[in-house]
Structure 1
C-alpha cells in the first residue's frame, strides 16, 4: 500500500477555488487567470465525489436560478456543494490510497457525508456493544440494517433506542430477525428468511462473538466458542452468497488475539468435536483459535469470490473494548473494567468495521486484514493458504456431519483436496 505522509499538499494556492460538477467530477477555477482545470494545482491529481449528496441534504434551484444546498437535519443552507468535503483522489492503482482515519476515529466520522440509502446490511450481534454502534451508524446514513440476533427482545429494544435518540426517523430502516449462532438449523432458517425478503445484500458484517466461556456444547454438540465465532458465520455467509452482487462486501470481525492461536492441521478437527479436549480446554485459547479461523476464512472467501467484484475483509476492532464480551467470568469483567479508561469507545471500536464496509477507496480490493482503519499484516499462520483451505473443507464436513450431506448452501463448495500435516510441519 502506498500511503501518503500527510494531506498538506491539498491546500489550494491563493486565487484558486474547488468546484464540482453535477456528475461528481471536481475541477479547479483560477480567479486570477479566469481559467479552469481538472487537476489539483499543487498535487496534479484528479478528484471525484460520490454521485449523490450526503444523507439529509437536498439540492434546490431557486426561482432566480441560484443553486443552494439544504441540510434537513441541521436546517443549514449553503451555496457550496457539500460533496466537496468528501472528494477522494482518483487512484492510478487499486492499492493506492491515503490513510484517512486512525485509532481515534469514530464510525460516524468514517461515514461523514455518505448516503447509504438503498443499501442493505446484515449485522450479527447488532443489539449491543460494537455491533449496535455499527448498526446505528449505518442506519443514521440511510442504510437498511438487519439486526441478526438471538435475543429478539434485546434487538427490538436497541432499535427503539435508536428511534428515541435520533432526530431523523432512521429506526424505520432497522429490522430485527432471529438468528441463534449456536444452532446450524437456526442459521438455515435465517438464511431462508433473508432470501424470501431481499434479492440483494450489500454488506454482511460478521460481528457477533462469545468470549471467556467454560467448556460448553452448542445445540449441535460442538464447542460453543468455535461454532458461534466461526462455524455458524461461515455457514451463514455461504447461504447468503447468492444475494451478494458486484460491490457487496463481507466484513469479518476478528481480533489481534488470532496471533496467539495454537490451531494446527492436527488439532483443528478435535478442537470442535472430540471429548478429549475437555481435559485441556482453556477458554482463552479457544477464543484465540476462533479468531484465527475468522482471518483464515476471510482469506479463502476473498480468493473464492475474486473476479466477482465482491470484497472480503477481516479486522481487529480494538483491545479489550468495554462490551458485554467479558460477562462470563468475574476476573475478565474486573480486568476489562480496569483498562476501560485506556481503550477505545464503542464508536471508535466500530470505525474499522464501518470503514471496511463502506470506504470508497477499498473498491477493487479484497482479502486484507485491517486494524485502526489501516491495512496491516496478519500472523504468519493466518497467511497460510493450505491452512485456510483445510479450515474451509473441515468446516463443510462439520456442517454436513450435523445437517447431512444435502445441507443447503454447500453444493459444490468443497475446494480441491486437503492434506493433513503435523504440527512440526507448520
Structure 2
C-alpha cells in the first residue's frame, strides 16, 4: 500500500481560483489568462466533492440572480460553495490517499462538511463511552442511529442527552433496540427487529466490548468475554448481511491489545470450543484474544464481501481511554484514572471509528486495520489467512452447537468437519 505525501503543494498560484460544478467536479480558473482547467495548476491532479451540500447548508438564488449559500445552524451566508473546503483528490489507485487526520483529531472534525441524511448506522454499545460519541457525532450530521444496547433504559437516557445538548433535532433519528450480546437468541431477535424496520444498513459499527471480567459464562454457556467481544457480533453481522448493500461499511472496533494474544493455529480450536477452565483464566489474556478475533474476523469478512462492494475495516480507538470499560475491577479503574490526562478524549477515541465509517477516500478500501485514522500494519498472527478461516469455521460451529444446525443466518455457511 502506498501513501501520497502531505498536502504542502495545494496552495493555488497567484491569480488562480478554485471552483466547483453543480455535480461536484472541481475546476480551476486563471484570472490572468481567462482560462479554466480541470487539473490543479501545481499538482496536476483532479479533485471531486460530494454532490450534496454539507449538512445544514442550502443553496439559495437571490432576487438579483446571485447564488448564496446559507448555513442554517448559525444563519451565516457565503458566496463560496462550502463543498470546496472538503474536496478530495481523485486517486490513481484505490489505496493511495493522504493522511488528513491523526491522533488528536475528533470525530466531529472528521465529519465536517458531510451530510449523512438518509444513511442508517447500527452501533452496538452506543449508550456510553466511545460508542456514544460515535453515535452523537453521526447523528449530528443527519445519520439515523440504532442504539443496539443491553439496557434500553441506558440507551434511552443516552438519546435524551443528545436531545438536550444539540441545537438540531438530531435525536429524532435515534432509536434504541434491545441487544444482549450474552445471548445468541437475543442477537437473532434484534436482527429480526432490524429487518422489520429497515431495508438497508449503511454502517454496521461493532463497538461493544467488555474488559477485565472475572471468569463467567453467558446464558449460552460460553466464556463471556469471547462471546460478547467476538462471537455474538460475528453472528449479528451474518444475520444482517442481507441488508448490506454496495457502499455499506462494516467497522469492527478492536484494539492494539490484539498484538499480545496467545492464540495460535494449534490452540485456537480447543480454546474457543471449550473456553478456558476457571483455574487457568486470566482476564487480560481473554480480552487480548478476543481483540485478535475481531481483526481476524474483519479480515475474513472483507474477502467474503469485497465482490459486493461492501467495505470492512478494523481499528484501534486509543490506549486506555477513560470509559466504563474498566468498571469491573477497582485496580483497572485506578489505572485508567491515573493515565487519563495522557490519553485520548472520547471524541478523539471515536474519530477512527467515524473515519472508517464515513471517509470518502476510503470508498472501495477494505480489509485494512486502522490506528489514528490511518492504515496500520496489524500483528503477524492477525494477517494469517489460515487463522482467519479457522476462526470463521469455529465460530459458525459454535453457533450451530447452541442454536442447532438450522440456525438462521448460517444457511450458506459451509465448513469442513476436520478443522
TM over 0.5: yes
Matched, 1:255 2:248: no
Tell me the alpha carbon deviations over residues 40-74 of structure 1, each in whole angstroms, 9 at most, x when there is no partner.
00000000000000000000011111000000001
- Tell me, in whole angstroms, the C-alpha distance in 2 between the residues paired with 1:191 and 1:396: 17
- Tell me, in whole angstroms, the C-alpha distance in 1 between the residues paired with 2:123 and 2:235: 15
Tell me the alpha carbon deviations over residues 94-127 of structure 1, each in whole angstroms, 9 at most, x when there is no partner.
1111010000000001110000000000000000
Give the C-alpha shift of residue 301 in structure 1: 0.3
Aligned counterpart, 1:376:
376
Aligned counterpart, 2:180:
180
Alignment of 1:45-64 (within 5 A): 45-64=45-64
Contact 1:390 1:419 in 2 (8 A): no
Alignment of 1:74-89 (within 5 A): 74-89=74-89
Give the C-alpha shift of residue 2 in structure 1: 2.7
Task: Tell me the secondary structure at the aligned position of residue 302 of structure 1.
Answer: helix
Aligned counterpart, 1:396:
396
Unaligned runs of 5+ in 2: none
Tell me the alpha carbon deviations over residues 361-392 of structure 1, each in whole angstroms, 9 at most, x when there is no partner.
11111000000000011000101111110100
Q: Between Structure 1 and Structure 2, how many residues are aligned?
A: 419
Aligned counterpart, 1:221:
221
Matched, 1:15 2:15: yes
Task: Tell me the secondary structure at the aligned position of residue 308 of structure 2.
Answer: coil
Stretch moving more, 323-332 or 257-266: 257-266
Give the C-alpha shift of residue 276 in structure 1: 5.6
Give the C-alpha shift of residue 80 in structure 1: 0.3
Aligned counterpart, 2:239:
239
Task: Tell me the secondary structure at the aligned position of residue 413 of structure 2.
Answer: coil
Task: Tell me the secondary structure at the aligned position of residue 220 of structure 1.
Answer: coil
- Tell me, in whole angstroms, the C-alpha distance in 1 between the residues paired with 2:277 and 2:219: 18
What TM-score comes out, normalization by structure 2 length? 0.98
Aligned counterpart, 2:288:
288
Contact 1:122 1:146 in 2 (8 A): yes
- Tell me, in whole angstroms, the C-alpha distance in 2 between the residues paired with 1:302 and 1:386: 15
Contact 1:212 1:328 in 2 (8 A): yes
What TM-score comes out, normalization by structure 1 length? 0.97
- Tell me, in whole angstroms, the C-alpha distance in 2 between the residues paired with 1:64 and 1:26: 25
Tell me the alpha carbon deviations over residues 127-182 of structure 1, each in whole angstroms, 9 at most, x when there is no partner.
00000000000000000000000000010000000001100000001100000000
Aligned counterpart, 1:110:
110
Contact 1:108 1:351 in 2 (8 A): yes
Contact 1:390 1:418 in 2 (8 A): no
